[in-house]
Amino acid sequence: MAAPGPAVPRGFLPGGGSGGAPDPLPEPKPLLELIRLKRDGGRLGEADVRAFVGAVADGSAQGAQIGAMLMAIRLRGMDMEETAALTRALAESGQQLEWPEAWQGQLVDKHSTGGVGDKVSLVLAPALAACGCKVPMISGRGLGHTGGTLDKLESIPGFTVIQSPEQMRKLLEQVGCCIVGQSEKLVPADGILYAARDVTATVDSLPLITASILSKKAVEGLSALVVDVKFGEAAVLPSQAQARELAAALVGVGAGLGLRVAAALTAMDTPVGRSVGHALEVEEALLCLDGAGPPDLRDLVTRLGGALLWLNRQAEAQAEGAARVAAALDDGSARGRFERMLAAQGVDPGLARALCSGSPARRRELLPRAREREELRAPADAPRSRPLPAGTVEHIRALPLALVLRELGAGRSRAGEPIRPGVGAELLVGVGQRLRCGAPWLRVHRDGPALSGPQRRVLQGALVLSDRAPFAAPSLFAELVLPPAHGPTDTQK
């Protein structure tokens, strides 16, 4: 379905043109004055933005000042030029990545705004490498109630997310992909702001999201990027309209920086797949790399990968690209790349081999496990000895599930807080399936005492039943917003 080109999102202030020679940069203002200026709705110039980011990077900005500026931006917004300036300043706060000339046209990446059970990156990076791409993926940790890719990978004993630019180049030469974190050399200022956003209620600021995502990607020297923009109850952005605004900003600011960016809008009301929690999600990612696993996870991996291959002109159509990604999952080549990536990033080669070739039961033995398991059952109005039909699973709400798991140690309430990699939950039933009264529908993996009454009530509230007939769960993929040069916006239902 055709749609108009990207508009200026509501989270961004109007103003600023793109034509003509740039004006000379004025002297930057003191940091306190910059905070006051943005607090009062003023516009930060390029020199102002660079001064703020420089103070963040060199440690001269106090934590309270960083929080104050983030809140001012969250409340007052930024126009597209301010956002582009912030993106450039963050990207230039560290080392720029440089690649061999022969890799031009092969460098691609995918990023997600964060979801519950979203382990797509763990599968897609090696699948793209198996399709001939170079994937220098710089990822983040969990924000709010959402899980982080780095946290999931660190549940694998020995996996090292901090890699120097020189090590990243070696990884791409040997494997074709790597998944690394920000370091003192790579976009360090964004790493500081990223952690601060998580504890200052500024995670949902569209300019801050845009600058954070694109700054990490600007240093990668990419040919193409697909951003998975989540929307729904458990997403940073609750509505599809808000997600579309962020998508437009990512595409527009990316184009201004010379990046070919597309943004996929995907639903985040129910968890992705059947597992939530770091080690459990690694297990499920390995199932998908086996060519199996939950259909919704495989669907997202192939659609996002297909769009990226098409955007990068490595496939004639999105469907062709999706078929290539699916083939890499089914023939084992993506799993082989994942095994090589694990070994190259610090995992013992024997463990990497056992994880990638072992049975699901063997994998569970090799990864961190919680001490206890506890099952929740579908509400029963009749004695359990006489189970009666309870209904069809209309919906499983991701947000209550994520909030309780965070309380149990699967997430963070403040920056730097340790997590429990074995804590999580398994959905024992999927959306659209029939569930009987008293039948188990959720298995919680916990390290602490039994679930409290309030926690059980919150979790039971995540299960929504209806009396309609069983149905096929809809795809989580809703729309793909493309750069103007790549044609009209595609909407896929």
Residue 85 — very low, low, confident or very high, per pLDDT cuts 50/70/90? very high
pLDDT tens-digit map of 462-478: 999 999 999 999 999 99
**Active-site position among 83, 87, 112, 139:** 112
Max CA separation in the chain (angstroms): 80
Q: Which H/E stretch holds residue 424?
A: strand 424-427
pLDDT of residue 450: 95
Across residues 144-166, what is the average pLDDT?
A: 89
> What are the DSSP calls for 258-296, one per residue?
T--EEEEEEE-SS-SSSEESHHHHHHHHHHHHTT-S-HH
Active site residue 197: yes
Q: Residue 472, class by beta-carbon neighbours within 10 Å (0-12 exposed, 13-18 middle, 19+ buried)?
A: exposed
pLDDT in tens, 295-322: 999 999 999 999 999 999 999 999 999 9
Check 48, 50, 93, 109 and give the catalytic one.
Answer: 109
- For residue 382, the model assigns a pLDDT of 42
Over the stretch 182-225, which tens digit does the pLDDT of each residue have? Answer: 777 888 999 899 889 978 999 889 999 999 999 988 888 899 99
Supply the pLDDT for residue 383: 43
Question: What pLDDT score was predicted for residue 491?
Answer: 39
Please say if the pLDDT value at position 348 is more than 90: yes
pLDDT tens across 38-81, in order?
Answer: 999 999 999 999 999 999 999 999 999 999 999 999 999 999 99
Find the DSSP H helices in 178-236: 188-198, 206-218
Q: Percent of the chain scored above 90 by pLDDT?
A: 77
The answer to whether the CB of 147 falls within 8 A of the CB of 141 is: no
**Cβ burial 70-91 (10 Å sphere, 16+ → b, else e):** bbbbbebbbbbbbbbbbbbbbb
* Catalytic residue, candidates 50, 152, 169, 197: 197
Active-site residue identified among 38, 50, 74, 110: 110
> Does residue 1 register a pLDDT over 50?
no
The whole-chain average pLDDT of the chain stands at: 89
**Model-level pTM?**
0.87
Instruction: Report the pLDDT value the prediction gives residue 286, as an integer from 0 to 100.
Output: 98
In the predicted structure, residue 253 carries a pLDDT above the cut 60: yes
Which of these is catalytic: 87, 121, 139, 149?
149
The first and second tokens of residue 306, run together, are: 């297909």
Q: Active-site residue 217, yes or no?
A: yes
Range with lowest mean pLDDT among 6-10, 124-128, 377-381, 389-393:
6-10
**pLDDT: is 12 or 199 the higher one?**
199
Residue 149 designated active-site: yes
Please state, for a pLDDT cut of 70, what percent of the chain lies above it: 89
- Judge whether 406 counts as a catalytic residue: no
pLDDT of residue 27: 73
Give the mean model confidence (pLDDT) for residues 163-179.
95
Element (H or E) spanning 251, and its range? Answer: helix 240-256
Q: Which of 74, 134, 141, 216 is catalytic?
A: 216
Mean pLDDT across 5-19: 44
pLDDT: is 97 or 109 the higher one?
Answer: 109
Please pick, among 111, 141, 337, 363, the residue that the annotation labels catalytic: 111
**Residue 222 has which token pair?**
């990419």
391 contacts 431 by C-beta, under 8 angstroms? no
Spatial distance between the Cα atoms of 77 and 100, rounded to a whole number of angstroms: 39
Active-site residue, from 50, 134, 141, 217: 217
CA distance 438 to 427: 15
Name the least confident of 55-64, 252-261, 388-397.
Answer: 388-397
Does residue 111 carry a catalytic annotation? yes
